[in-house]
Structure 1
Amino acid sequence: MAPLLHRDRELTVFGEAIDELRSGRPTVASILGENGMGKSSLLGAITEMLPQRSRVLRARCHPSESHFAYGMVRQLFDPVLASGERTRKQFDRASGGDGAATHDLLLNLFHLTRDLVADHPVVIAIDDLSFADTPSLRWFSYIARRLDDLPVMMVATLPGSTPAGPAADLGKLPYARFVQLRPFCATCTADFVAEALGAPPDVELAALCHTLSQGNPLVLRELTSRMRQARVSPGEPDADQVLEIGTAALSDTVLEWLHDHDPVASELLTQLAVMGPETDITVAAILLSQGEPQIRQARRALVQAGLVTEGPPVRFRNPLIRAAVLSRIDNQTRLGLHERGAALLDRLGAPAAQTAEHLMLTDSDWGVPVLRRAATEAVAAREYDDATRYLRRALACSGDAATIHELTLQLGMVELRHDLDACVRHAEALATTAPDPARRARSLLNLASPALAASTVGVRPFVTAAHELATVADPPREPLLRLTAQGVLSGYRTGLRRSLRMAVSGVQDAPAKEFSGALAAMVAAGGRYPDTARRLAMRATRERSRRDRPVGTGLVGAALAFGWTGRPEEALDVCARILQDARTWDQPDLHALGLLLRSDVGHRRGESADSLRDALDAREGAELIGARVLATAARACGARALIRLDRVEDAAALMRDTVTPADAHPLVKSMVLEVQGLIAAAADDHVTALSLFLDCGHRLSARGITNPACLPWRAHAAQAYTALGEHSAARTIATEPPGSRDHAPDAQPSHARVVLTPAEQRVVELVRQGMSSMEVAERLCLSKRTIDTHLGRIYRKLGIRGRHQLSTALGL
């Protein structure tokens, strides 16, 4: 009884018709429904409900037999003909020789039927009446109109939701009945699955089965049968496994039936699946080499089968239907269909993206221009994933060197907004595909983002191009200034002198401002000339022409310079400009960097809550575009703000899974070390904190960042020394770096001309405490050989011969 779930109303209707039959009155009933709705099952259930003395004549029609005259009638009467010679002769006379449905033949068949009901009620049950041969259909209509006062019930199954053919003509008969089978509801589906699997299904499994089958009993029966074979647990199902089984069930039921019974509709469904749900029906007709009448008929068949919507546009009722159709097509055939479809869409002037989607699935090389247009359209719509896919496919099928260079540049510009690490790879590729330094430099200008300067790998192609350009006799001004600015912002001096002469002697245009801003950051990092750094930063932030698209390097450098020279208000104003430019020109890399800079300024102003918010927003934006270095810096800024807010545990949690990229700029690595040191100090692990602070200072000094305003590592290290009881070391490490303008001359130690690295200062302090080289090595977790190397370098710097002269040489 499982197939008859949700069929109580229909069985009631036929129960009434059987009562009419018992009373000697006729019924002509039609069971309507899409394929798989259980029409045949209901027909079988009706015959089981009949009175015991009923005579049942059955027939099942099929398209392959539709050309045999009276094929359906012969199926009905074959069992009767075997019962007697007289009856057989009557039927032979009625069916004639050529099958022509003359009135005499139809009348003889009616008399034959009337003779059969003389002793018993007769039930004529016909499955798939729409596939019957024409003479049999004529007989069905003829006899159905002449059943008054005869105990005959004619029941036929028909596809669709409305009567068609002979059944439609008989709708006005007083004894006609129509029953429309509907899909199972969700509750009936759950009941069916429970009975099939032997246990109540999980709620999600029941819902998934209903979605997969759309309440179609045939599909549901096949689905649960396969689930049972695969031993799917009704209580803890694997959704992916059920989806896979559902796709196969669809393919082997509804789609198989369609392939056998309506080849044109099946081909149309295949074409729609390949071309996509938004395909114009005219395009499908052209690809199928069919006329519009045939296509309209095929579309009606698909709608009646519950596979697609009526449209327009025509869409699949269930995404799994498309997946099931595609699973039936071999790869070679599918490639050919996509190839033909792409070529036709291109000729018809379809949107480039629509054509490109088919080109993506072929091995054709003619579609590079189409893919490039599609990428441009996708960028305009901010659909960067699609633009990247199209350009990568175009690169894969292009063999021309010039085209490869152009595609690499276009792809790099897309990934600058989408995947910063990928953009770095394409910048490196541009450095090898351009034919000459000038062309290489102009190409790289399109990717010159200050966000790339945060990575030593990211800035490398620009530094290399600036070096090559600086050696040219008469280098182009804009590329040299802007490429040099990109390197200077990261601490590289390649091309600096030549660019400086150009910037000083030329007009203060956009390239000069970019260079001035980057140079301002470099000067400010050194800490020696804060006024010069501020003047350069002010030059970089002067109003520019509205025609100039901002690159951001100059403004980023200016913001850093103002922040590092004690002008946080000016730095905040520059950050606002950076963020505005990023929004105006859709530059997510610049936006993340602007938020990061504003977080740093907020920290300097003591606005920790605002600093934290900007840092977290910067991290989110950086992660969205694959900017690993910026995301790491944002984590460090956020943790620093949390520490200031006395939320050390939250800061530790934020930094716990942070892995500093190996190619991160030393300033970013130092920020991470500083924050880790602050977290260790808050946990009273001052030995670890001191080691982290000293490492931080070493990395900064190696890159020439000696301004304590950049990162106050000396103050942190002094606090760690103090906590460890090493007060003399605290005083030494707290001393400003040699040559600082802000340090009074009389406060400088006698060894001011000698620059000791933080590591060397630590070794000196421990040696002065009377420790041997081995003890110093154990204290600093280093080898004795490393300590001896440090001491040898210290002695050479101070011009002494041994440790006994250290105090005198240092003026202590």
Structure 2
Amino acid sequence: ALIFAEAPRGLRGAGPGPLEGADRDDPAAAAGREPGRLDDADAARGAPGAAPGPLDDADAALVEQLEVELIGSAYISIAARKLLAPRLAALPTPPEVPATYFDRFRLTGLAFDAFAAGRPADEVAELATRGLAYGAMATDPTAGGHAFVSGAIALMFAERYDEADRLYSGALEDARRRGSGIAFATASSLRSLVAFRRGRLSDALADASAALELARDVHGSQGFLAAALGTLVYTALDQGTVDADLEAFADRFVREQAADNLPYSHAMHARACLRVHRGELEAAYQELLATGRRELEWGARNPAVTPWRSSAALVAHTLGDTRSARELAFEEVELARAFGAPRALGVALRAAGLVAEQEQGLSLLAEAVAVLARSLGALEHARALIDHGLALHAVGAHPQAEPRLADGHALAIRCGAPALAARAGVTAPSVPTVPSALGVLTPSEARVARMAAEGMTNRDIAQALFVTQKTVEMHLGSVYRKLGVRSRRELPTALERGSGDGEL
């Protein structure tokens, strides 16, 4: 009953509903099939006990919408996923070419299930691509957008970052057109994770901040904000900007958000990383293990979702528990190899290299560098380069270490990760530099400044970001003071004084 209570939100949503493509043009296509079956037509007809009979077009559409909302809850809620497991297992295999919206939803759902289970990334991407093809579909998770959300997430974890970024950017434009703050917060949260995993920290921070600023205003997609929190924390750690406010915000988020939401593990992992940063190693280790238990509870074995094993391995190693550290790290390597996505494998190999014995560790770190070099995960490539360089330096292989450290330092700077770059211990060349204009602005101020520089009015900016015009005016006033300009006409020139990040 509680699951069905969510369905009307999807039916009330603005924009394209679940019936898309072939079904929208030919409703009889939906009437001629029984998506997952509701066992009879009584639910749609509103006549308990009535004899089953053929559905008219409107009833068939309603049946499909209700079924999508019901099954869709299994892709956001742990409790619903457990409850619906028998139903999911009994659903028919969708056709090679989807004929209805439900077929497309089943394909993207299968892609989601496949990445969670650690099936090969190519298989995940193929299923998601088939489900997302064949025309536009709703993107709002509370308005019939389950197929889009599960498919785009599957592509992101399969490391098809270009495609995932395109999908989320389109969803953001759709959210702005329809005035949906929920859809905007969801797409911003997930796009922030894509940007972070690509090593585009400035973009990641902007999207994460935009999503979290709406945390009090969105109802129905708060679970996805855990991805934004993760991005915010990971970015701050690599930029060296962690402060008491961020730590308090992360603690409050983990306490107050619904732990039943599948993405909640991102928040737990992020808070554990902050505990490591504070030196609370035992508490961090226990939270990372709890994150893992939670992931396994809903069927997520894949380290590409949340690399809790490698994070826990590094903490265990620091605590002196070498056996646990190596068990966790090598289990993640095995799972990541089976999945076959290079960034996830590189992350696992790096951790294994740091906890293994010296000779094996150097070999694993070298492999991590090679694997990440062919990935789109520039930030993790920089991290592996630096760790490999430091490991080589520790054994006296200075000629081999220096190029690794220099390359890692340069790449970390390009990603916008000065704290990570500093670990390389490399002194940057003495060349004239221009202070970054965006470096003095908060993410919200930088975002508003860019939009104003592009010619958008305060009203346009407010509508695009789902904030008030007064908020925009406040941000612009702060921008003018920090950059020393008096009007928006001067903004383009002021913002050209360096963005801080390189183009990756």
Confirm whether residue 621 of structure 1 aligns to residue 294 of structure 2: yes
Within a 5 Å distance, the mapping from 1:308-323 to structure 2 comes to none
**Distance of aligned partners of 1:593 and 1:699 in 2 relative to their CA distance in 1, 3 Å threshold:** same
Looking at structure 2, the residues matched to 423 and 458 of structure 1 have their Cα atoms a distance apart, in angstroms, of 23
If you compute each CA radius of gyration, which structure gives the higher value, 1 or 2? Answer: 1
What CA distance in whole angstroms lies between the structure 2 residues aligned with 1:740 and 1:747? 20
Q: Residue 629 of structure 1 aligns to a residue in which SS?
A: coil
CA distance in 1, matches of 2:215, 2:400: 50
1:734 aligns with 2:391: no
Q: Match of 1:352?
A: none
In 2, Cα distance between the equivalents of 1:627 and 1:598?
19
The 8 Å contact of residues 412 and 427 in structure 1, kept in 2 or not, is answered as no
Q: How does 1:272-351 map to 2 (within 5 A)?
A: none
Provide the C-alpha distance between the structure 1 equivalents of 2:87 and 2:385, rounded to a whole number of angstroms: 34
What secondary structure sits across from 2:258 in the alignment? helix
Q: Which residue, out of 594, 605, 611, partners 2:267?
A: 594
Tell me the percent identity: 15
Mark the CA change 1:540 to 1:571 in structure 2 (over 3 Å): closer, same or farther: farther
How far is 1:689 from its partner?
0.9
Matched, 1:524 2:200: no
For residues 696 and 552 of structure 1, the distance between their equivalents in structure 2, rounded to whole angstroms, comes to 32
1:291 alignment partner in structure 2: none
- 1:372-521 pair list within 5 angstroms: 410=70, 413-414=73-74, 417=78, 432=95, 436=99, 438-440=101-103, 455=118, 456=121, 460=125, 463-464=128-129, 467-468=132-133, 472=135, 475-478=137-140, 479=145, 482=149, 485-487=152-154, 489-490=156-157, 491-492=159-160, 493-494=162-163, 496-497=165-166, 499-500=168-169, 503-504=172-173, 506=177, 507=179, 509-521=181-193
Asked if the contact 1:424–1:457 (Cα under 8 Å) also holds between the matched residues in 2, the reply is no
Distance 2:360 2:323 in 1: 17
The residue aligned with 1:48 is: none
Are 1:602 and 1:611, in contact at CA under 8 Å, matched by a contact in 2?
A: yes
Q: Map of 1:400-799 to 2, 5 A cutoff?
A: 410=70, 413-414=73-74, 417=78, 432=95, 436=99, 438-440=101-103, 455=118, 456=121, 460=125, 463-464=128-129, 467-468=132-133, 472=135, 475-478=137-140, 479=145, 482=149, 485-487=152-154, 489-490=156-157, 491-492=159-160, 493-494=162-163, 496-497=165-166, 499-500=168-169, 503-504=172-173, 506=177, 507=179, 509-527=181-199, 529-544=200-215, 548-550=219-221, 552-565=223-236, 566=239, 567-568=241-242, 570=246, 573-574=249-250, 576-577=252-253, 580-583=256-259, 586-587=260-261, 589-630=262-303, 633-655=307-329, 659-660=334-335, 662-663=338-339, 666-680=342-356, 683=357, 685=358, 687-708=359-380, 712-735=383-406, 736=408, 737-738=410-411, 739-740=414-415, 746=429
Task: Give the drift of 1:422.
Answer: 7.1
In structure 2, the partner of 1:7 is none
Aligned partners of 2:186, 2:211: CA distance in 1, in Å?
A: 6
Q: Which amino acid aligns with 1:642?
A: A
- How many Å apart are 1:639 and its aligned residue? 1.6
Describe the shift of the 1:726–1:603 C-alpha distance in structure 2 as closer, same or farther (beyond 3 A): same
Give CA deviations for 1:421-449 in whole Å, capped at 9, x if unaligned.
97998699676499546555566788998
* Structure 2 CA distance for partners of 1:549 and 1:440, relative to 1, 3 Å: farther
Q: Taking structure 1 as reference, are residues 443 and 533 closer, same or farther at Cα in structure 2, changes over 3 Å only?
A: same
Q: Describe the shift of the 1:441–1:417 C-alpha distance in structure 2 as closer, same or farther (beyond 3 A).
A: same
What's 1:71 paired with?
A: none
Give, in whole Å, the separation in 2 of the partners of 1:557 and 1:451: 23
**Native 8 Å contact 2:349 2:368 kept in 1:** yes
The 2-side partners of 1:560 and 1:713 are apart by 19
Alpha-carbon shift at residue 688 of structure 1 (Å): 1.5
Go from structure 1 to structure 2 and tell me whether the alpha carbon gap of 1:495 and 1:458 turns closer, same or farther (over 3 Å shift).
Answer: same
User: Whose relative contact order is higher, 1 or 2, with alpha carbons under 8 Å and at least 6 apart?
Assistant: 2
Shift of 1:705: 1.2
Distance 1:557 1:434, change over 3 A: farther
Distance 2:254 2:104 in 1: 24
TM-score when normalising by structure 2: 0.54
TM-fit CA distance, 1:495: 6.0
C-alpha displacement of 1:461: 6.8
CA distance in 2: counterparts of 1:411 and 1:595, whole angstroms = 26
Aligned partners of 1:451 and 1:590 also within 8 Å: no
C-alpha deviation, 1:734, in angstroms: 0.9
Counterpart residue type for residue 581 of structure 1: Q
Q: Note the C-alpha offset of 1:655.
A: 4.7
- Unpaired stretches in structure 1, ≥5 consecutive residues: 1-365, 373-399, 749-812
Give distance in 2, aligned partners of 1:557 and 1:450: 22
TM-score by length of structure 1 reads 0.35
Task: Determine the C-alpha separation between the residues in 2 that align with 1:426 and 1:627.
Answer: 17
The residue type paired with residue 660 of structure 1 is: L
Classify the secondary structure of the residue corresponding to 1:660.
Answer: helix
- Within-5 A mapping of 1:242-261: none
What is the aligned partner in structure 1 of residue 482 from structure 2? none
Q: Which whole-Å CA distance do the structure 1 matches of 2:388 and 2:274 have between them? A: 23
C-alpha contact (below 8 Å) 1:592/1:622 kept by paired residues? yes
CA RMSD, 1 decimal: 4.9
* Alignment check: 8 A CA contact 1:489 1:553 kept: no
Q: Who is 2:424 aligned against?
A: none
Secondary structure at 1:543 match in 2: coil
Residue type at the aligned position of 1:614: E
For residues 389-430 of structure 1, the C-alpha deviation after alignment (integer angstroms, 9 at most, x for no partner) is xxxxxxxxxxx9x98998798567458627799799869967
1:607 partner letter: E
Kept in 2: contact 1:639–1:651 (CA 8 A): yes
Say whether the 8 Å CA contact 1:541–1:574 is kept in structure 2: no
Within 2, Cα distance between the matches of 1:568 and 1:733?
A: 27
Shift of residue 641 of structure 1? 0.9
Please name the residue that 1:76 is paired with: none
> Once structures 1 and 2 are overlaid, which stretch shifts more, 497-506 or 513-522?
497-506
